[in-house]
Amino acid sequence: MGFMQMLEAAWARNDSLVCVGLDPEPQRFPAALRDDPDAVFRFCAAIVDATADLVCAFKPQIAHFAARGAEEALQRLIAHIHAQHPGVPVILDAKRGDIGSTAAYYAEEAFDRYGADAVTLNPYLGRDAVQPFLDRADKGAVLLCRTSNPGARDLQDLVVRDAAGGERRLYQHVAATVAREWNANGNCLLVVGATYPEELADVRRIVGDMPLLVPGVGAQGGDVGAVVRNGRSAAGTGLLISSSRAILYASAGADYAEAARDAALALRDAINRCR
């Protein structure tokens, strides 16, 4: 089953638009895990097991593993999700993108080595830099469009002139280009931050029903109601609303997994009240 089918099924089965981001920060782990040499895997697996029936996807962020040489823990974690919670897609948050031959190696890393179902990509290098990802029709290609950070304004909000002489912002150009030209296999998604709800509405108008990955609720302050109203598709889905720290570190005590479940449930229900 391809990524898009997995996602559709997970939206329906779990009645959830929540994506839990797996960003392990050992200094925030509960005391019981501090001296555990396998703490990164155990912490993340406990979060996964506590929330898998409440989410539409998991999103491990690769830098949190790579900074400490924990690639093997990341591989095991993704294998654990596939084995224990089949049907919940895994989006590897890696923001890759490079010229042709190297992009193929990055695709191999994400899909073959790690077994991810989708990966986040940076569009700055253009189409050929993401083509090896687009070509994997059963995998999701999640292109950065309008990110949730303040610096997103530096490039993404610039006014650009298109070939026909019309003007629009760079993120709108990216949305239109991905929707019209890069999505031949129907496997593209876009990243649009929750902190800019008007831009989210803009992107939704441009891309039709394409799924949008929306980080920035919770710790970054994005408003859930505005995200759902402005970002949902005609079917009332079309969103993966991603939360990491607010779920992972809901409790610093031994009850961290239960607290994560409570936080994921509260987010799911808050979202569903606005759908």
Q: Which stretch binds a copy of itself (CB under 8 A): 83-91, 117-125, 233-241, 256-264?
A: 117-125
**Cα distances (angstroms) measured from residue 71 to each of 19, 40, 226, 233, 240:** 21, 10, 36, 35, 25
The binder of a copy of itself chosen from 83, 154, 166, 234 (CB under 8 A): 154
221 binds a copy of itself (CB under 8 A): no
76 binds a copy of itself (CB under 8 A): no
Could you tell me which residues are beta bridge partners of residue 59? Answer: 21
Residue 167 identity (one-letter amino acid): E
Count other Cβ atoms within 10 Å, centred on residue 31.
9
DSSP 18-67: EEEEE---GGGS-GGGTT-TTHHHHHHHHHHHHHGGG-SEEEEBHHHHHT
150 binds a copy of itself (CB under 8 A): yes
The binder of a copy of itself chosen from 128, 198, 255, 269 (CB under 8 A): 128
Are 70 and 39 spatial neighbours (Cβ–Cβ below 8 Å)? no
The binder of a copy of itself chosen from 27, 31, 35, 151 (CB under 8 A): 151
161 binds a copy of itself (CB under 8 A): yes
Residue 159 identity (one-letter amino acid): V
Give the span between the Cα atoms of 165 and 248, in whole angstroms: 47
Shortest reach from residue 195's CB to a copy of itself, in Å: 10
180 binds a copy of itself (CB under 8 A): no
Tokens read off for 211: 């799924």
Instruction: Tell me how many residues contact a copy of itself (CB under 8 A).
Output: 55
38 binds a copy of itself (CB under 8 A): no
Does the annotation mark 95 as catalytic?
Answer: yes
Could you tell me the sign of the dihedral formed by the alpha carbons of 207, 212, 218, 223, in that order? positive
Residue 272 identity (one-letter amino acid): N
The binder of a copy of itself chosen from 59, 96, 261, 268 (CB under 8 A): 96
Instruction: Given the residues 42, 82, 85, 95, select the one marked as catalytic.
Output: 95
Supply the residues annotated as catalytic. Answer: 95
Contact residues for a copy of itself, defined by CB under 8 A: 23, 61, 63-64, 66-69, 71, 95-103, 105-106, 108-109, 112-113, 122-129, 131, 144, 147-156, 158-162, 167, 170, 173-174, 177, 215
